[in-house]
Structure 1
């Protein structure tokens, strides 16, 4: 049996700011559209829905991130500022070539370190968590050596 992850979804209020943040990270906008109707609601269990989505793709083409802004039905919960030990979805981790340079670019677009420093894991990785627009939590990892 073959399994391949297609995408990870994140619900946002400001789709434009989220697209910009992930473009600055290095993802490419694959497409943007509105998904609506009864058929979509059958997939999600939300009934009749209207959602503006943007599909972002990693430059290597192997990873995709779906950003969604719900127009109908309204948002019912907000987990954006949950601590990193909260149950459920936590973050998406991205491997980057130059963590310091990437952090510099993200900071210009509202990215903030969750901790006060980038941490080294043995002689393998430099790691950090970053909160972006709307509190979106991502991880960054730079392989050492």
Structure 2
């Protein structure tokens, strides 16, 4: 089965959006991770992961008002490049080698704060763009 020209163009734009967003997010993560060292109870990736959660929440709130390519650029690309699960887990593993409860505390705290950041991002996005929660 062959795709029509518009479908091929749409797919190409989607991949380009993910690529550009991912590059920007990865560069920003590297810039911030070099500037913000981890606290004893947090990982070095804490700040960028929480920032990505906030942006994802905001994008979720406006998902019906923006083109799908904006979501590919922002959610998949930018937030995917900005956040880093693999580094988060590696840092937790290093913490656990020294003190297991520090790693458990960091994981619990960072996941809870990340969820709160996503909810805050969605709330702000809905207020700024006039949408009300459904349900």
Q: TM-score, normalised by structure 1?
A: 0.23
Higher radius of gyration, 1 or 2: 2
User: Greater helix percent: which structure?
Assistant: 2
Q: TM-score, normalised by structure 2?
A: 0.24
